[in-house]
Amino acid sequence: MKQTPQELLVTQRMQPGVITLSGFLGIDQRPLNEIIADDAQTLLRLDITAPEIAERMQYLTDQSQQAYEGGIIIDGSYEVETEITRGKLPCPFLHRGLQRKTVTTCTHLTTGITIRWTALNIHMIKEHGFFEGKGSPFRLEPGTLIKVLFPDAAHRS
Amino acid sequence: MDINAFILFWAAIFTSNILLTNFLGMCSYLSISREVESSFGLGMAVFFVLTVTAGLNWVIYYHILVPFDLIYLQFIVFIIVIAAFVQLLEMLIERFTPALYYTLGIFLPLITVNCAIFGVSLFLVIRKYSFIQSVAYGAGSGIGWLLAILMLAGIRNRLKEKMIPQGLQGAGISLIVTGIMALAFIGFSGIVIVQ
Amino acid sequence: MFVSIIQDIGITSLVSGGLALILVIAQRYLNDYGDCKIDINGKRLITLKGGSSLLNALSENQIFIPSACGGKGSCGTCKCQVLEGGGPLLPTEKPLLTTKEMTGNVRLACQIKVKSDVRIHIPESIFNIRRFQGVVSKIEDYTYDIKGVIITLTEPETIDFKAGQYVQLETPIYAKVRQKVGRAYSISSDPGNDRQIQLIIRYVPEGICTTWVHQYLNEGDQISFTGPYGDFFIRDTSADMIFVAGGSGKAPIKSILEYLSRVGTTRRMRYLFGARTCKDLYLTGEMHAFEQVFDDFEYIPVLSKPCPEENWQGRIGYVMPVFPELITDPANTEAYLCGSPAMIESVKKALIELGVPKDRIYYDSFG
């Protein structure tokens, strides 16, 4: 599929060293809209929407920030910790507002799977359905994400 | 052609919509119709460029190409005129309305290769329109194109939440929607004959 | 035949040449904005050729508005008040401004082009900001992820700053990073030594600047920065003081303490440092040493998760429960906080509950 100038501009902002050190696309060679479309297919198959995922991630992140420092057990099934560093990052999609530099580490206690995400991850999933390119340090596989965030719904797939 | 320019203007919008009856300008129509806002920006740019280049190309065709017997070069010359005009327009917009430049600016270069614009320039030659008719036809076609892309963007917005068979998602469903829209527009045809 | 070919080529060239000429003339006319004046706070007047961005125009005249992304319109730190001549608000600015800022004529200096006479308002302290060149004279490892970097200034040779302020380090082009960025770090050394500054920098995964400092920067390297920025500095009163820091938030407090030890003070001071394990503690000896220097000072590190094998003798838990026993006269106490936003929020709440006046809580929240 051809890309619009807007998509090309966004892709340019996702390159290493523009907003973050390694960028958002990893080793993914696919055009941006294909990455988003492919993940959207996966979500459709799993019968869930990107905003639902983002909402759940936001909930866990907010809960973990109640803890002044260190990890916290949430709902008896997750151990979550959010680390915040100085500074804010813009959205590569030229979106309004800045996101804090946070890294949330979340371990699902039953399965032992650990995933981590940033505030920017939540924003990009919610607003743009973007889970980052394959091989990117903060790539979130929708499949794994759902397994951790919605363990009860996993059988739907 | 003996047809009132005013009638031609409306005819170009409805009865012979450049996109829905001639299927010209499909590329950007399909790729930038995801959001209503950006399709409106592109549509406005197309409208403006179409109106002006139709007039410009008419002048160049009848006052330069015909007298010097250069009609076989019309394709090249038309493209050059369109490209140069788009460039000039870009500069003017950047200078005088920077806000519009940023919303519209990225779509402007795309317009140079929009075949609807080139198509209009060729039609006005084939159909032997007068200068006034050409400008009216250009403006009407521009509004017609804007109308078509706005409708598609609106429909695609609604389709986002609908279940669409996997193989038909994206361009597939858009083409089907366009086909149905074109069928609906056939209802207008026969009222005025422009060609 | 031959003549007609020549004629055809000639006409076509004439048409394209004519159009090209129109474009060239248009370009020349449209891009010439003539001389423009920038009026800053009604105090300074700069005259320059129009066409460049406000941010660049100002920095060419040695006025440095803070900017982290180098004029790409992505960080939103170069906000300034443009009272006249800014033109309409651009779509590239909107994402980074709040509604209140938009109505208050706040704009992004990097996005506005100087096309006519401009009148702007900037905080007075910005006049003090300069660009400095320096050489890295020492890099120390404080913990597994925190380094102390000492920079000796070369051009200009001295810096005038208040204890607690920060500078903006410029990252050069290295490895995958293809453009310069600027990142803010607090100065951790005494302003009395105006030929050197020290920064305490904690490694952030995926951080453009911290990765450079931790993995690429060597002693003897050239380095450049702008500064000083910020309004987090010591207030000259006689009230009691409580310092609360976490992580690399120790830097500005260290600067403040070194400054106070040089000028001397009899104020009552308590310093709480919150960390997770013993591995995160650093400069402990130096901080305890201040207890001998000041009349009434105590350094209290508090660990939230000391590992059993570390045999930690000090306090365990969060810093907030310690406040009641340290703060004897809440109404007459100034609090200086430095750390993550979450930490500052909870500490602020606890302090206000104790009765510390809200306007006496000063903090340096990250970002």
pLDDT-derived band at A157, boundaries 50, 70, 90: very low
Compute the average pLDDT of residues C269-278: 88
On the question of pLDDT at C366 being above 60, the answer is no
Burial class (CB in 10 A: 0-12, 13-18, 19+), C266: exposed
For residue A97, list chain C residues with Cβ-Cβ distance below 8 A.
Answer: 95-96
Nearest to B98 among C12, C31, C88 (CB): C88
Cα R_g (chain C), whole angstroms: 27
Name residues whose C-beta falls within 8 Å of residue B3's C-beta, 6 or more positions apart in sequence: B11, B133, B192, B194
At C27 the pLDDT is 82
What tokens does C58 get? 């100002």
The domain locations on chain B are 5-186
> For all residues of chain C together, what is the average pLDDT?
86
- What integer is the mean pLDDT of C122-132? 84
Q: Is the pLDDT of residue A101 over 60?
A: yes
Residue A154 has pLDDT above 60, yes or no: no
Count of domains for chain A: 1
pTM, rounded to two decimals: 0.63
Its domain, for residue A92, covers 5-156
Question: What is the reported pLDDT for B109?
Answer: 75
More confident site: C92 or A133: A133
| Phi/psi of residue A63, nearest 5 degrees | -60, -45
What are residue B71's phi and psi, to 5 degrees? -60, -30
Is the ipTM, as predicted for this complex, more than 0.90?
no
In tens, the pLDDT along B22-59 reads: 888 888 888 778 778 778 878 888 898 899 999 999 99
CA dist., res. B79 & res. B112, Å (int)? 8
Which of C311, C332, C213, C321 has its CA nearest to residue C267?
A: C332
Q: In what order do the strands lie in the sheet with A114-118?
A: A72-74, A78-90, A98-108, A114-118
Structure-token pair, residue B64: 């330069």
Kind of pairing, strands C44-49 and C35-40? Answer: antiparallel
Q: Do A2 and B31 touch (CB under 8 A)?
A: yes
> What pLDDT was estimated at residue C258?
92
DSSP, res C46: E
The CATH classification number of C35-126 equals 3.10.20.30
In chain C, whose CA is at the least distance from the CA of B57? C15
User: Chain A partners of C323 at a C-beta cutoff of 8 Å?
Assistant: none
pLDDT band at C257 (very low <50, low <70, confident <90, very high): very high
pLDDT in tens, C28-56: 887 777 888 888 888 888 888 887 888 88
Distance of CA A26 to the CA centre of its chain: 14
User: Is-contact C161 C230, C-beta < 8 A?
Assistant: no
Q: What is the mean pLDDT of residues C1-14?
A: 87
Closest listed residue to residue C354, CA positions, set C323, C332, C312, C317? C323
How much is the pLDDT for B147? 94
Q: Which residues of B touch C (CB under 8 A)?
A: 60, 64, 68-70, 73, 76-77, 80-81, 84, 87-88, 91-92, 94-95, 97-99, 102-103
Give the mean model confidence (pLDDT) for residues A107-120: 90
Residue A125 pLDDT grade (very low, low, confident, very high; cuts 50, 70, 90): very high
Q: Do C177 and A22 touch (CB under 8 A)?
A: no
Instruction: Give the whole-number percent of chain C exceeding pLDDT 70.
Output: 98
Provide the pLDDT confidence category of residue B195 given band limits of 50, 70 and 90.
low
| Interface contact flag, B91 C27, Cβ < 8 Å | yes
For C130-229, CATH number? Answer: 2.40.30.10
Average pLDDT over residues C99-117: 86
The closest CB to that of B98, out of C11, C23, C87, belongs to: C87
Q: What is the largest CA-CA distance in chain A?
A: 48
C36: β partners: C48
On the question of pLDDT at A55 being above 80, the answer is yes
> What confidence tens digit (pLDDT) does each residue in A6-15 have?
777 788 888 8
- pLDDT of C367 reads 47
Beta bridge partners of residue C187, listed in sequence order: C199
Distance CA C317, CA C137 (A): 38
CATH architecture of C240-365: 3-Layer(aba) Sandwich (3.40)
| Among chain B residues, CA nearest to C20 | B84
Contact yes or no for C169/C183 (Cβ under 8 A): yes
With beta carbons under 8 A apart, name residues in chain C contacting B69. Answer: 4
Confidence of residue A20 (pLDDT cuts 50, 70, 90): confident
Residue position matching structure tokens 């047809």: B3
User: In which residue are the tokens 């290295």 written?
Assistant: C174
Q: If you average pLDDT over residues B82-107, what whole number do you get?
A: 76
Location of structure tokens 């910020």 = C230
Looking at the complex, report in whole angstroms how far the Cα of residue A133 sits from the nearest Cα belonging to chain C. 15
* Cα angle C12, C17, C21; round to 5: 155
Q: Specify the 3-state DSSP secondary structure of C362.
A: strand
Q: Is the pLDDT of residue A96 over 70?
A: no
Tell me whether domains C130-229 and C240-365 share a fold: no
Q: Which of C16, C30, C92 sits opposite B91 (nearest CB)?
A: C30
Residue C96 to residue A97: CA distance in whole angstroms: 5
Inform me whether the pLDDT recorded for C262 exceeds 60: yes
B97 vs C contacts (CB less than 8 Å): 88
What is the reported pLDDT for A130? 93
User: Distance between CA B34 and CA A32 in Å, rounded?
Assistant: 15
CB pair distance less than 8 Å for C205 and A82: no
Residue ranges of the domains in chain C?
35-126, 130-229, 240-365
Task: Please give, rounded to a whole number of angstroms, the shortest distance from the CA of A7 to a CA of chain B.
Answer: 11
Is A148 a residue whose pLDDT tops 60? yes
The winner for highest mean pLDDT among C85-94, C138-147, C303-312 is: C138-147
From A67-81, B102-116, B157-171, C130-144, the region with the lowest mean pLDDT? B102-116
Given an 8 Å threshold on Cβ–Cβ distance, is C8 in contact with B70?
A: yes
User: Could you give the CA distance from residue B127 to residue A141 in angstroms, rounded to a whole number?
Assistant: 57
Q: pLDDT value at position A155? A: 47
CB of C120 within 8 A of CB of C78?
Answer: no
**Span A62-87, pLDDT tens digits:** 888 776 666 788 888 898 988 877 77
Whether the per-residue pLDDT at B148 is higher than 60: the answer is yes
Using the predicted structure, report yes or no on whether residue B134 has a pLDDT greater than 90: yes
C279: β partners: none
C194-206 residue pLDDT tens: 899 999 888 887 7
- Please give the pLDDT value at position B178: 92
Which pLDDT band holds residue C68 (cuts at 50, 70, 90)? low
Q: What is the number of residues in chain A?
A: 157
Helix (H/G/I), strand (E/B), else coil: C70? coil
